[in-house]
A and B are shown apart, each in its own frame.
Chain A
Amino acid sequence: MNRVTDRGFWIESEVPLANTNEWSIPLWLLWAVSEGQPADLGSASPLLASNLETLRDIYVAWTGGRQIPVSYEISSDVTAPASGVSLFFTAGVDSFHSLINHLEEIDNLVFVHGFDIPLADTEIFAHAEAHARETACLFGKRLIVVRTNMRWERPEVPVLTNKRWEWPHVPCGWEMTHGAAMAAVAHALAPNHGKVYIASTYSYSELLPWGSHPLLDPLWSTEAVRIVHDGGETRYNKLRLLAQHPEALARLRVCVDCMGSKNCGLCEKCVRTMLGLRSIGVERCVAFPDTLTPTLVRQQELKENTVLHWRELLDAGLPPELNSAVRSAINSYKNGLPVRTGYFKRGVKRWLYAARNAGKVLMSPIDRS
């Protein structure tokens, strides 16, 4: 087992790892933005160095951090890129789409223990790893398994003061950090590839500040490892491609609650994916239990970032009762109403909320400024 460490962060894997500390720059840059303290990032390759200030500016704007000076040296010996192309793989819709889209080009699938699955959950990880290995084998790719503590352990040094660090160990919250974490892993794995794909989460038309983003990801590139944000397709179009590959569809793992080891069929992400499949005519998918009902769909509580995916499902060919359930879930989110469950008490609560909202709107012409 090889391991790289830097001031408390570590990454380990069976495959050869980089022998410089450039891999930890993304982590320390985010640390600096989050803590509002200048950080010494060490030595950066010229390409990455030229983008560090832009990366900082974007993170400052997106996380409300402080405009801190960043110091770094530009390294003179630039490593030549290794051959090989990798893809971060979770067996979800996005990574399967990128795998199929670049099937010829991709050599390695990178599977990380310590991102979605906490380091301590070894049993779940073993299950997920076996699944990923089987998938890699099926598609004829090498699986690179990586373990890291960057999300789930807190190093003792330096002492953290910023309360916004999500437990246990992520500056700016994992939603804003996961792209930088992937960049760190990509650079640590530099001897294994010259190009790494990060599958997109959102389509180009629905961009919002997010840790992995078409604007951010390429900026983490170095001369040795080019980082490519792949996709920008809607989730619905991605599923449409997946539907042509039943072997991929059967191996989909999207569930956050089950940490990607199986699909619960009840959480928002499972429901949204089952809806997407249904809308393109896939009635039954072995990867999901048979749980999709209009009532389950109506009960989903959406958030700012998930409602984007739900809007794509509207009028996308769903059966009428499911379509109106999707409409209802979106409508509840949009109007700030509790979701519809069919219970009488909840129904009354929805009308009370609506009356309160209407009262506020009615008084809106009164200029309080």
Chain B
Amino acid sequence: MNRVTDRGFWIESEVPLANTNEWSIPLRLVESVVKGNPVNLGRVSPRLADNLETICDIYAAWIPGHKIPLEYELSSNLAAPENGVSLFFSGGVDSFYSLIKLRDEIDNLVLIHGFDIPLAETKTFELALKQAREVARHFSKRLIVVRTNLHWEESRLYTERSWIPCDWGMYHGVVLAAVAYALAPNHRKIYIASSSSYAHLHPWGTHPLLDPLWSNEAVHFVHDGGETRLNKLRLVIQHPEALSQLRVCWENLGINNCGLCLKCVKTMLGLRALGVVHCAAFPDTLTPELVREQAIFPRSIDVWQEMLCPELPPALNAAAQSVIHNCQSGLPPSTGHFKRGVKRWLYAARNAGRALIAPLDRT
């Protein structure tokens, strides 16, 4: 097992790892932007150095953080790029889409233990690993398994806060960049599957604007996708062997997909919209009642709107519409319970009161 370490953070893998400390630059950079401390980044390759200020400006605007002065030296002995193309692979819709689309180009799938699955969750990771092995075998790719404590402390469960400096939604791109650098001896290009479509970009840790900026002379970063989620699923369902291995759930319950959380529901709904009634990867839990209970973020409204199509059974369609409507109107989900119903009317009364006195310009 090879391991690189820096200030208590470590990344380990069976494959060869980089022998410089450039891999930890993203961590130190973003931590300083959050805390507002000037930072010395050590040796930085010229191409990355060119982009550091832009990365800082973007993170400072998005987190939000502070504009900090950067100190670094340009490194002169540049590692020549190796052969090989990798893709970060979590087993979700985005990474399956990129894998299928780029199957001729990709050599390695990178699975990280300690990313969305905490290090202490060995049971869930075993399952994810088994699946990833199966996928890698099917598509004839090499699976690179990486362990890291960049997100979660080694001995703690995910219920306790991890030690990252900002929200994981903004930070996960930093961890991916660090892992990609650490794996430099294994690839010259790495694909990061997109989360959002180009039409609905919002500040996020992996982003078509941000990801390519992490490129250095040895590793070229490509943000792949920008397709809508339904279009991605459309490609994935043409490959039943991929579909049966989907793993989208973040609940880490020791099963692949719980079938009850927001992400599971969203994916099952998408599959149903495309005419897939039963999918081996999910339990048979999709009911209109379950859908109605979901509370979504405004940023995912577009994903839900996309699924409202004639192919979706009317009851599910109505339930999805209700979820979107609740999010747009700032109401709690409708569950059919009397108490929840009362709460919805109270919220509506409060919102209406605010709208009524809006001409006073108090807000």
Footprint of B on A, CB under 8 Å?
A: 54, 57-58, 61-62, 203-205, 207, 209, 214-215, 232-233, 324, 327-328, 331-332, 334-335, 337, 340, 347, 350-351, 353-355, 357-365, 367-369
CB distance from A174 to the nearest CB of B (A): 20
* Contact in complex: B361, A61 (CB < 8 Å): no
* Contact in complex: B356, A355 (CB < 8 Å): yes
Instruction: Give the contacting residue for A354; candidates B325, B345, B358, B363; CB below 8 A.
Output: B358
**B344 beta carbon closer than 8 Å to chain A:** yes
* Contact in complex: A354, B199 (CB < 8 Å): no
Instruction: Give the contacting residue for B209; candidates A215, A328, A353, A358; CB below 8 A.
Output: A215
* Contact in complex: B358, A365 (CB < 8 Å): no
Pick from B31-39, B56-64, B87-95, B104-112 the stretch touching chain A.
Answer: B56-64
Q: How far is the CA of A363 from the CA of B317 in the complex (A)?
A: 21
**B226 beta carbon closer than 8 Å to chain A:** yes
* Contact in complex: A324, B361 (CB < 8 Å): yes
**B287 beta carbon closer than 8 Å to chain A:** no
Q: How far is the CA of A77 from the CA of B272 in the complex (A)?
A: 51
Contacts of A57 in B (CB 8 A): 198, 226-227
Instruction: Give the contacting residue for B359; candidates A203, A350, A363; CB below 8 A.
Output: A350
Instruction: Give the contacting residue for A358; candidates B329, B334, B353; CB below 8 A.
Output: B353
Contacts of B197 in A (CB 8 A): 61
Instruction: Give the contacting residue for B64; candidates A205, A327, A340, A354; CB below 8 A.
Output: A205
The 10 A-B pairs at the shortest CB distance, nearest first, are namely: A61-B198, A369-B321, A204-B61, A61-B199, A362-B352, A358-B356, A205-B61, A335-B358, A369-B318, A364-B329
**B270 beta carbon closer than 8 Å to chain A:** no
Contacts of B20 in A (CB 8 A): none
Contacts of B226 in A (CB 8 A): 54, 57-58, 61
> Given A367-B334, A369-B318 in contact, is the A328-B58 Cβ separation under 8 Å?
no
Contacts of A368 in B (CB 8 A): 325
> Given A232-B54, A232-B58, A340-B361 in contact, is the A364-B356 Cβ separation under 8 Å?
no
**B122 beta carbon closer than 8 Å to chain A:** no
Q: How far is the CA of A205 from the CA of B199 in the complex (A)?
A: 16
Query: Would you list which residues of chain B between 147 and 199 have a CB under 8 Å from chain A?
Result: 197-199
CB distance from B9 to the nearest CB of A (A): 27
Q: Can you pick out 18 interface pairs between chain A and chain B where the beta carbons lie within 8 Å of each other?
A: A61-B199, A62-B198, A205-B64, A327-B363, A334-B363, A337-B358, A340-B361, A351-B359, A354-B357, A355-B356, A357-B356, A358-B352, A358-B356, A360-B355, A361-B329, A365-B334, A365-B345, A368-B325
**B280 beta carbon closer than 8 Å to chain A:** no
Q: How far is the CA of A266 from the CA of B315 in the complex (A)?
A: 53
Contacts of A364 in B (CB 8 A): 325, 329, 331, 348, 351
* Contact in complex: B61, A365 (CB < 8 Å): no
Give the total of B residues in contact with A, Cβ under 8 Å: 40
A207, A324, A327, A363: most-surrounded residue (chain B CB, <10 A): A207
Q: How far is the CA of A217 from the CA of B189 in the complex (A)?
A: 23
B331, B347, B356: most-surrounded residue (chain A CB, <10 A): B356
Contacts of A347 in B (CB 8 A): 359
Q: How far is the CA of A351 from the CA of B356 in the complex (A)?
A: 8
* Contact in complex: A205, B361 (CB < 8 Å): no
CB distance from A64 to the nearest CB of B (A): 8
Q: How far is the CA of A353 from the CA of B209 in the complex (A)?
A: 40
Q: How far is the CA of A369 from the CA of B325 in the complex (A)?
A: 9
Q: How far is the CA of A205 from the CA of B357 in the complex (A)?
A: 30
* Contact in complex: B344, A365 (CB < 8 Å): yes
Contacts of A203 in B (CB 8 A): 61
CB distance from B212 to the nearest CB of A (A): 9
Q: How far is the CA of A354 from the CA of B357 in the complex (A)?
A: 7
Contacts of A362 in B (CB 8 A): 348-349, 351-352
* Contact in complex: B361, A327 (CB < 8 Å): yes
B209, B321, B349: most-surrounded residue (chain A CB, <10 A): B209
Query: Would you list which residues of chain B between 71 and 124 have a CB under 8 Å from chain A?
Result: none
* Contact in complex: B359, A337 (CB < 8 Å): yes
A205, A324, A351: most-surrounded residue (chain B CB, <10 A): A205
Query: Would you list which residues of chain B between 9 and 65 have a CB under 8 Å from chain A?
Result: 54, 57-58, 61-62, 64
* Contact in complex: A361, B325 (CB < 8 Å): no
**B203 beta carbon closer than 8 Å to chain A:** yes
Q: How far is the CA of A63 from the CA of B319 in the complex (A)?
A: 29
Q: How far is the CA of A195 from the CA of B228 in the complex (A)?
A: 34
Beta-carbon nearest neighbor of B349 in chain A: A362
